[in-house]
């Protein structure tokens, strides 16, 4: 049985004082017990704060992005080893905002994936289609292309050690959630695509849904056979809301 993962993607939100309340609120709620693995991904500058406050809480923390390079003249970038230095367990890779706002290509995403795993980090690999692609009936082709770029570069076994997040771009931050069945259909497609190469890996890999997950829709999404948790943006910025999603497992 795959353990459900609930991951909070804070994006470029928060402040030192606000994070203190948010982290302590999540920590207090989780200590009452939830049936999921929980991870928060703050902006990089706040990772040391998360590491300090979440130490021995059972909650993991991670980065929102990393450089594919190990070190060197890459101003503004953060390496896998730097995330590892602050005990990050996870790192989000290929988020649609990185792909669209920073022109990250499938090939770069694959390089980042490899850099993360080489250091011991677990990649949360984001894939998902634009609204125009869904309307053109290209959803499966798009997620297959994004997934295959990583499988071809890293090998199918590497997928066992990652988390996949299906995030339809039209549902991110829009309040328009994919219906549980729409999400399940794509999750099943992703799992079958992995299974075509390795059945064991397909059974093990966790596939999260992301895109306007809220306390009132989480339970129905998480109940689907191939949905193993969620990548939560906006709703992870409020301790009570995030905890309600964690409890929906
Ligand atoms: P959202 O973001 O929950 O605010 O839609 C999800 C994400 O971008 O990971």
What's the pLDDT score for residue 32? Answer: 86
What's the pLDDT score for residue 1? Answer: 74
Residue 140 maps to a domain: yes
Task: Give the distance (Å) from ligand 1 centre to CA of residue 7.
Answer: 10
Confirm or reject: Cβ of 124 under 6 Å from ligand 1: no
126 CA closest ligand 1 atom index:
9
Confirm or reject: Cβ of 211 under 6 Å from ligand 1: yes
What's the pLDDT score for residue 136? Answer: 96
Q: Please, are residues 201 and 155 in contact by the beta-carbon 8 Å criterion?
A: no
Residue 237 maps to a domain: yes
Helix (H, G, I), strand (E, B) or coil at 248: coil
171 CA closest ligand 1 atom index:
5
What's the pLDDT score for residue 79? Answer: 98
Closest CA to 119 of 169, 63, 73, 56: 63
What's the pLDDT score for residue 176? Answer: 84
Residue 205 maps to a domain: no
What's the pLDDT score for residue 86? Answer: 98
What CATH number did the domain enclosing 55 receive? 3.20.20.70
What's the pLDDT score for residue 171? Answer: 93
User: Any catalytic annotation for residue 69?
Assistant: no
User: Any catalytic annotation for residue 157?
Assistant: no
Q: Which residues of the chain have pLDDT under 70?
A: none
Q: Which of 213, 229, 230 most suits a substitution to test ligand 1, by most atoms within 8 Å of the C-beta?
A: 213
Residue 208 maps to a domain: no
User: For residue 177, what is the DSSP state?
Assistant: P
Confirm or reject: Cβ of 213 under 6 Å from ligand 1: yes
Q: Please, are residues 147 and 127 in contact by the beta-carbon 8 Å criterion?
A: yes
pTM of the shown model? 0.97
Indicate the number of domains in the chain.
1
User: For residue 132, what are the domain limits?
Assistant: 7-198+214-247
Q: Which residue in the list 95, 104, 111, 129 is annotated as catalytic?
A: 95
Closest CA to 231 of 34, 48, 38: 38
Residue 209 maps to a domain: no
Task: Give the distance (Å) from ligand 1 centre to CA of residue 106.
Answer: 20
174-201 tens-digit pLDDT:
888 889 999 999 999 999 999 999 999 9
Residue 97 maps to a domain: yes
Find all residues with CB under 8 Å of 101, minimum gap 6, and list them: none
Task: Give the distance (Å) from ligand 1 centre to CA of residue 131.
Answer: 15
User: For residue 223, what is the DSSP state?
Assistant: T
Residue 1 maps to a domain: no
Measured between its terminal Cα atoms, the distance across the chain in Å is 14
CA distance to 97, 180, 208, 220, 226, per residue, from 223 (Å): 27, 9, 12, 5, 9
Task: Give the distance (Å) from ligand 1 centre to CA of residue 233.
Answer: 4
Residue 1 CB coordination number (10 Å): 5
Cα 39 to chain centroid distance, Å, stands at 9
Residue 206 maps to a domain: no
């Amino acid at each position: 049985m795959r353990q459900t993962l609930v991951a909070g993607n804070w994006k470029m939100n928060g402040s030192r004082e606000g994070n203190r309340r948010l982290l302590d609120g999540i920590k207090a709620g989780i200590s009452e017990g939830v049936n999921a693995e929980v991870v928060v991904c703050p902006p990089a500058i706040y990772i040391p704060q998360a590491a300090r406050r979440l130490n021995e809480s059972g909650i993991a923390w991670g980065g929102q992005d990393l450089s594919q390079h190990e070190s060197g003249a890459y101003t503004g970038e953060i390496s896998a080893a730097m995330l590892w230095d602050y005990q990050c367990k996870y790192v989000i890779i290929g988020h649609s905002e990185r792909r669209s706002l920073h022109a990250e290509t499938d090939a770069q995403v694959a390089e980042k994936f490899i850099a993360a795993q080489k250091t011991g980090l677990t990649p949360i690999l984001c894939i998902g289609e634009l609204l125009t692609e869904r309307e053109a009936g290209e959803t499966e082709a798009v997620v297959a292309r994004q997934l295959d770029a990583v499988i071809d570069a890293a090998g199918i076994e590497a997928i066992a050690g990652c988390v996949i997040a299906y995030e339809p771009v039209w549902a991110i931050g829009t309040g328009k959630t994919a219906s549980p069945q729409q999400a399940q259909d794509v999750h099943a497609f992703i799992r079958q695509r992995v299974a075509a190469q390795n059945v064991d890996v397909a059974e093990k890999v966790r596939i999260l849904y992301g895109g306007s997950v809220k306390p009132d829709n989480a339970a129905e999404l998480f109940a689907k056979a191939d949905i193993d948790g969620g990548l939560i943006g906006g709703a992870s910025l409020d301790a009570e809301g995030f905890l309600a999603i964690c409890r929906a497992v």
